[in-house]
């Protein structure tokens, strides 16, 4: 029996098939798996998993394929590509309850909810998958207004490593539900997510470009403006690496998600945006009201480059943090530094309430290093040297913006109590660590047996 034959009734792509070259490629990697399965329902997922477990194959689960580590493909294993599970179904209009397939992308979700005047806070990029972004937490343009994507999740249907279909919610398999909200793809294949959408038809978005005279001063001014901003306002300060011969610039990207009558909304948006126009010498500004669906961009990194992301969440943008960011920006590191504002609804969730634990962070700081495709690990380490001083001032990191998944990355993502609980959930739902191609949580000791859906 061939590898392909044993995955009964599932669309598959195997080496030699004409689609194979496309099927094994994701944004940050090209693999050579033994088989790519494209299931259409939970039974087909279970069959694919049984096939992998029988043969001891590495399992990759793919939603939008945007993992920074290329986890959506592998070498010699099985890829479960969820592209056919991309349905978006309104379950309850009054509650704005929406069921979204585990393989949908956020751009399609935004487009589907737009005619109802609804939106779910998600990421900034249309092609990112609902699966990967949600399971890591999900930082979007309305994070201060509506929290993380997972803060709007009320249930998920999950196929576990042994092929059972379980519902996870506050009342069914609650430990699993807790773990899915930040613990990544460690616990099973999520067939669908049930979210409560928010009444958001339009938002004000903008980019303000500043002449960058003094990065430290700009960071402090942006921080102070965001400390007194309403939580309808979310913004990111971007410090690109200095380009030789060019006037240094910095950008503030903003999104104001307000409610109220048309007049009120515009006036309130303008009042909230104004302080972000006064941080320094403005070179350009473009601000407009748009559909939430138009906010999501469809960007992909140019091919042939090596891109490495690191991030840390800081409790406070204090003098030490400002100094470390400033030093990194002044260094020769080819890193783009971005500071994403947090607080608001994001911080009102208790740290222990979800597996994403770093709730008292004022900001997330991201460093994105772009190097030639030929860059070695040593080149990357060199480019990231000034980052260590920034990371040392953080309380931990967000898995989804981390191009590294070592044991220390996992430890940075999950504080000890969170990790211990995740390890117990892992033991209950994936004791054989079938789902290991992620920021991996190892099975630990003792939770009650899971309940069936």
Determine which residue in the list 31, 33, 107, 131 makes contact with ligand FAD, applying CB under 6 A.
131
**How many C-beta atoms lie closer than 10 Å to residue 13's C-beta?**
21
- Separation CA 58–CA 437 (nearest Å): 8
Q: List the Cα angle 241/243/246 in 5-degree steps.
A: 130
The arrangement of strands across the sheet holding 88-92 comes to: 88-92, 97-101, 189-196, 153-159, 165-169
98 binds ligand FAD (CB under 6 A): no
> How far out from the chain centre does Cα 289 lie?
25
Determine which residue in the list 136, 240, 280, 343 makes contact with ligand FAD, applying CB under 6 A.
136
139 binds ligand FAD (CB under 6 A): yes
Determine which residue in the list 38, 51, 66, 175 makes contact with ligand FAD, applying CB under 6 A.
66
107 binds ligand FAD (CB under 6 A): no
Contact 30, 60 (CB under 8 A): no
438 binds ligand FAD (CB under 6 A): yes
Binding piece for ligand FAD, criterion CB under 6 A, among 39-47, 65-73, 285-293, 383-391 = 65-73
Q: Which is nearer to ligand FAD, 28 or 118 (CB)?
A: 28
75 binds ligand FAD (CB under 6 A): no
Residue appearing with tokens 């992308």: 105
Determine which residue in the list 63, 152, 160, 312 makes contact with ligand FAD, applying CB under 6 A.
63
Q: Which is nearer to ligand FAD, 221 or 399 (CB)?
A: 399
190 binds ligand FAD (CB under 6 A): yes
Minimum separation from the CB atom of position 153 to ligand FAD (A): 12
380-411 core/surface letters (b: 16 or more CB in 10 A; e: else): beebbebbebbbebbebbbbbbbbbbeeebbe
Token pair belonging to 96: 């704005």
DSSP 241: P
**How many C-beta atoms lie closer than 10 Å to residue 278's C-beta?**
10
33 binds ligand FAD (CB under 6 A): no
Binding piece for ligand FAD, criterion CB under 6 A, among 128-136, 247-255, 345-353, 384-392 = 128-136
221 binds ligand FAD (CB under 6 A): no
241 binds ligand FAD (CB under 6 A): no
The H or E element spanning position 208 is: strand 202-211
The Cα diameter of the chain in Å comes to 69
Binding piece for ligand FAD, criterion CB under 6 A, among 66-74, 247-255, 269-277, 415-423 = 66-74
355 binds ligand FAD (CB under 6 A): no
Q: List the Cα angle 30/34/37 in 5-degree steps.
A: 90
Token pair belonging to 237: 């300060």
- Count the residues of the shown chain that bind ligand FAD, applying the rule CB under 6 A: 37
Token pair belonging to 138: 């999900």
65 binds ligand FAD (CB under 6 A): yes
358 binds ligand FAD (CB under 6 A): no
Token pair belonging to 370: 């772009």
182 binds ligand FAD (CB under 6 A): no
Q: At what angle do helices 215-227 and 319-330 cross, to 10 degrees?
A: 140
Determine which residue in the list 74, 121, 125, 160 makes contact with ligand FAD, applying CB under 6 A.
125
Determine which residue in the list 34, 44, 45, 62 makes contact with ligand FAD, applying CB under 6 A.
62
Determine which residue in the list 11, 111, 114, 124 makes contact with ligand FAD, applying CB under 6 A.
124
First to last CA, the chain: 33
Residue appearing with tokens 């043969």: 55
Footprint of ligand FAD (CB under 6 A): 26-27, 60-68, 71-72, 82, 102, 123-125, 128-129, 131-133, 135-136, 138-140, 184-185, 189-190, 299, 400-401, 437-438
């Amino acid at each position: 029996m061939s590898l392909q034959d044993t995955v009964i009734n599932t669309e598959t792509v195997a080496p030699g098939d004409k689609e194979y070259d496309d099927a094994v490629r994701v944004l940050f990697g090209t693999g050579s798996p033994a088989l790519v399965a494209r299931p259409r329902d939970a039974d087909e997922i279970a069959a694919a998993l049984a096939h992998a477990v029988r043969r001891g194959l590495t399992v990759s689960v793919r939603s939008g394929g945007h993992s920074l580590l290329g986890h959506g493909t592998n070498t010699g294993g099985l890829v479960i590509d969820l592209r056919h599970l991309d349905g978006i179904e309104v379950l309850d209009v009054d509650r704005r309850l929406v069921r979204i397939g585990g393989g949908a992308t956020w751009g399609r979700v935004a487009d589907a909810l737009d005619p109802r005047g609804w939106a779910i806070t998600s990421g900034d990029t249309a092609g990112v998958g609902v699966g990967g972004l949600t399971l890591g937490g999900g930082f979007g343009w309305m994070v201060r207004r509506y929290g993380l994507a997972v803060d709007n999740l009320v249930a998920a249907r999950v196929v576990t490593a042994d092929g059972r279909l379980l519902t996870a919610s506050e009342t069914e398999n609650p430990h699993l539900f807790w773990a899915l909200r930040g613990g990544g793809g460690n616990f099973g294949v999520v067939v669908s997510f049930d979210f409560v959408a928010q009444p958001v038809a339009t938002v004000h978005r903008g980019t303000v470009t500043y002449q960058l005279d003094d990065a430290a001063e700009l960071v402090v001014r942006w921080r102070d403006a965001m400390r007194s901003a309403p939580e309808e306002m979310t913004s990111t300060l971007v410090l690109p690496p200095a380009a030789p011969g060019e006037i240094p610039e910095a950008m503030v990207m903003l999104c104001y998600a307000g409610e109220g009558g048309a007049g009120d909304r515009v006036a309130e948006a303008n009042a909230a945006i104004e302080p972000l126009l006064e941080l320094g010498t403005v070179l350009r500004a473009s601000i407009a009201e748009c559909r939430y669906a138009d906010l999501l961009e469809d960007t992909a990194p140019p091919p042939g480059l090596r891109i490495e992301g690191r991030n840390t969440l800081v409790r406070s943008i204090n003098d030490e943090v400002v100094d470390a960011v400033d030093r990194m920006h002044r260094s020769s590191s080819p890193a783009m530094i971005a500071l994403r504002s947090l607080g608001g609804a994001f911080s009102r969730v208790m740290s222990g309430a979800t597996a994403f634990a770093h709730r008292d962070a004022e900001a997330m700081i991201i460093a994105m290093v772009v190097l030639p495709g030929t860059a070695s690990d040593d080149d990357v380490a060199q480019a990231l040297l000034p980052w260590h001083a920034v990371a040392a001032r953080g309380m931990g990191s967000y898995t989804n913006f981390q191009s590294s998944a070592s044991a220390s990355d996992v430890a940075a993502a999950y504080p000890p109590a969170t990790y211990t609980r995740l390890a117990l959930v892992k033991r209950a739902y994936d004791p054989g660590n079938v789902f290991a191609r992620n920021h991996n949580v190892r099975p630990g000791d003792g939770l009650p047996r899971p309940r069936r859906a």
